[in-house]
Amino acid sequence: MSNGWVLPDEVLRDAPAYTPRSYELADLELLLAGAYAPLTGFLHRADLASLARRGRLVDGTPWPVPVTLEVPGDLAAGLQLDNPLHRALVITDPEGAPVAAVDVTDAWPTRDGRYGVGGTVRRLGDGGHGPFQRLRRTPEEVKSLLPPGRVLGVVADRPLHRPQLAQIAHAARTLAAHLLVLIPIAEPGPDGLPSEVLVRAVFAARDRMPPATLVAVPLTRRGDEIRDALLRAKVAAAYGVTHLLSTGEMLSGGGPRVLVPRELAYDNRDGQWRWRDDIPPRNRRLALRPDEINDLLDRGFPLPEWHTPPAVAKELTRARPPRRHRGLVVFFTGLSGSGKSTIARGVADSLRESGDRTVTLLDGDVVRRELSKGLGFGKEDRDTNIRRIGWVAAEVARHRGMALCCPIAPYAKARATARAMAQTAGAGFVLVYINTPLAVCEQRDRKGLYAKARAGQLTGMTGIDDPYEEPTDADLVIDASEVSIDEAVRAVLDHLTETGWVEPRLQPA
């Protein structure tokens, strides 16, 4: 591939535009920076077939993972691959700003009406925006800053606690190497930690490191541990790394030498981190697991100083406050007439009385009237309605409020989308399934909807001629035919209290 192609501005103005998925945008940024050298664009069919067959591109270059771009079929159909003036595709970021152009020279059907496209990329505009732009240096810029000699690379995809810092210091000292810390900034990161929080946490540990250069790179995880490690090694090598510190598999090939450190433990005798096997069992403390760290933060307990530097703990506490101070979406789902709206209102009233949380109630009927006016009750419109509710609820929770939602939400995929929106906003998500039997819901039928559906006067009624996909991932299940509304409200409040989302309250005498 060659990246020397140039098109007039008026051609690019008229070219179709497309915003790819987040991992495709991350790949694009690495391509534009030169971190995926020798690649200069998204792969063609022949390269993908060769890669799947023998782990190499058509020209024989070893490469660990597919670097691909998919677009809607109607967009691909409008490109004229045999005409250089009509095969350009403008790539935009999520805000719609142009960031690159693709010279599409290959297109092929993939799945569900989508097409893969391959071709050389070139940057448009000033290189993007967002936090920590100064850290998004190209490999050539970074290599010009590195001192001669060995370079120890560390991919800091999680905050650095004392065990990791001790391993880094030992490796840098042993190798007499300069330290290069690569901070992955592609979302979502491990444990749902926003990229800007990860950057701040790594910087908070900088005074505990040897002399270091820090770089932000949009590396994403692809679900294959070995391939992920191989790709990281490739990118690290592009930035000038000669030795890569890793806790994964030893890798072979043309990249940096990968070092797998021995496990450390804290020595109670003198407060130092040493090789685990060098410390008697009665005197050692093992490093905390990520889930143990998150549990301490969720419950509002301080991270122990023997394990985490105070500056790092401060950043993590700011980003992951105790659950009672964090945003939350409580999503009630169930059939029409199940009691979910009544129960949600009772929960909202109780929380407002206590003043523990700022509460927003998104009732299904009110949302239909105000936010989703004009939508019907077909599957596509129902999904759109839930996406809108999920987005508003996530924004409420992003600012540490509590959103109570009570739509029918009959489809599992739409409910999963609402959960993902909340988690992306750094908030919690509690799914409450009001599992009241259909027969009881029909008996209540205060709106007369079931009667109309049974009489054939109404179609698309959930539970009658439209399915309700029962949740398999509910955090709480309540049958409102077996308990009173007050008991159901108390069950929800008890669950929120037990899981730390609401402060325990003293009962009046």
Strand 264-267 with 272-275, pairing: antiparallel
Residue 301 burial by CB count (10 A; 0-12/13-18/19+): exposed, middle or buried?
exposed
Show Cβ contacts of residue 20 under 8 Å, excluding neighbours closer than 6 positions.
Answer: 28, 69, 70, 71, 91
Is residue 387 domain-shared with residue 499, that is, in the same domain?
yes
Choose one of 106, 123, 140: the last residue of a domain. 123
How many domains does the chain fold into?
3
User: Is 336 annotated as a binding-site member?
Assistant: yes
User: Is 34 annotated as a binding-site member?
Assistant: no
Choose one of 91, 123, 155: the last residue of a domain. 123
Domain membership of residue 3 (yes or no) is no
Q: Where are the beta strands (DSSP E) in 365-417?
A: 402-406
User: Is 341 annotated as a binding-site member?
Assistant: yes
User: Is 22 annotated as a binding-site member?
Assistant: no
Q: Which amino acid is at 276?
A: R
User: Is 456 annotated as a binding-site member?
Assistant: no
User: Is 337 annotated as a binding-site member?
Assistant: yes
Rounded distance, CA 314 to CA 201, Å? 9
User: Is 484 annotated as a binding-site member?
Assistant: no
Is residue 350 domain-shared with residue 201, that is, in the same domain?
no
Going residue by residue through the chain, which has 509 residues, state the pLDDT in tens, using 9 for 90 and above. 444 566 667 667 789 999 999 889 999 999 999 999 999 999 999 999 999 999 999 999 999 999 999 999 999 999 988 888 789 999 999 888 899 999 999 999 998 899 999 999 999 877 666 778 889 999 999 999 999 999 999 999 999 999 999 999 999 999 999 999 999 988 656 666 888 999 999 999 999 999 999 999 998 888 778 888 889 999 999 999 999 997 544 444 556 888 888 899 999 999 999 999 999 999 999 999 999 999 999 988 999 999 999 999 999 999 889 999 999 999 999 999 999 999 999 999 999 998 878 999 998 777 877 787 778 778 888 899 999 999 999 999 999 999 999 999 999 999 999 999 998 888 999 999 999 999 999 998 877 888 888 888 888 888 888 899 999 999 999 999 999 999 999 999 999 999 999 988 655 44
Q: Indicate which CATH number applies to the domain containing 170.
A: 3.40.50.620
Is residue 106 domain-shared with residue 171, that is, in the same domain?
no
Q: Which residues pair with 217 in a beta bridge?
A: 184
Q: Indicate which CATH number applies to the domain containing 387.
A: 3.40.50.300
Show Cβ contacts of residue 41 under 8 Å, excluding neighbours closer than 6 positions.
Answer: 1, 3, 31, 102, 103, 118, 119, 120, 121
User: Is 334 annotated as a binding-site member?
Assistant: yes
Q: Indicate which CATH number applies to the domain containing 101.
A: 3.10.400.10
Q: By C-alpha distance, which of 31, 23, 256, 254 is closest to 138?
A: 31
Domain membership of residue 1 (yes or no) is no
Q: By C-alpha distance, which of 390, 468, 460, 393 is closest to 435?
A: 468
Q: How far apart are the first and last CA of the chain?
A: 78
Q: By C-alpha distance, which of 265, 280, 407 is closest to 336?
A: 407
Rounded distance, CA 39 to CA 24, Å? 14
Domain membership of residue 439 (yes or no) is yes
Evaluate whether 377 touches 409 at the Cβ level (below 8 Å): no
Q: By C-alpha distance, which of 333, 336, 343, 346 is closest to 444?
A: 336
Tell me which residue range forms the domain holding 172: 132-320
Domain membership of residue 58 (yes or no) is yes
Q: Which amino acid is at 63?
A: W
Is residue 89 domain-shared with residue 213, that is, in the same domain?
no
Is residue 225 domain-shared with residue 276, that is, in the same domain?
yes
Choose one of 123, 145, 179: the last residue of a domain. 123
